[in-house]
Amino acid sequence: MGKHVLEIEYDYNFVLIGISSHEKDYRICWALNNILKLDLVKIAPLEIKDKKQDKPSYFSLFEYLIPDEFMEYFIIANQSEKGVLIAEQKNMDYFFIIRGEFDEDKVTEIIKKIKDLSIVQTAVRIDLSTLKFKQNLII
């Protein structure tokens, strides 16, 4: 019998913003909720199982969905007890994902507001094409 290969095409149509902050995840979400008028809530952690690991890694995850506007917002921690979610961006503590209809001016405004937070060291837009393990960000 022949071998079948399953090829999966992931949807990378989202904005990825890296956030560097020494604060806990709930403090970052609280601050983002206030300045961006969101309602990010904690959900089950993102589970990633690497071939090299015997047990999966769990990354803190928050979401806010607006079904009527087809918008989704997520905050994912880049650190877990077992390692880093996106090794190329190990200097980032969190990733802010925006999925839906958005324009570049709005993204620029969001990044500026995040940078203005006193608990944030920096916030930058990350080009997904530069990431080796971007499939880890698929929720």
Nearest CA among 100, 99, 94, 89 for reference residue 127? 89
Q: Where are the domains of the chain?
A: 9-60+82-90+108-139
Q: Is it the case that residue 16 has pLDDT exceeding 70? A: yes
Nearest CA among 11, 41, 19 for reference residue 95? 19
User: Which residue has better confidence, 69 or 128?
Assistant: 69
pTM for this structure? Answer: 0.87
Q: Is it the case that residue 19 has pLDDT exceeding 60? A: yes
Q: Is it the case that residue 93 has pLDDT exceeding 90? A: yes
- How far are the Cα atoms of 28, 53, 62, 76, 114 from residue 44, in angstroms, in the given order? 17, 20, 8, 11, 24
Q: Distance (Å, rounded) from C-alpha 78 to C-alpha 7?
A: 27
Q: Distance (Å, rounded) from C-alpha 94 to C-alpha 21?
A: 8
Q: Is it the case that residue 121 has pLDDT exceeding 90? A: yes
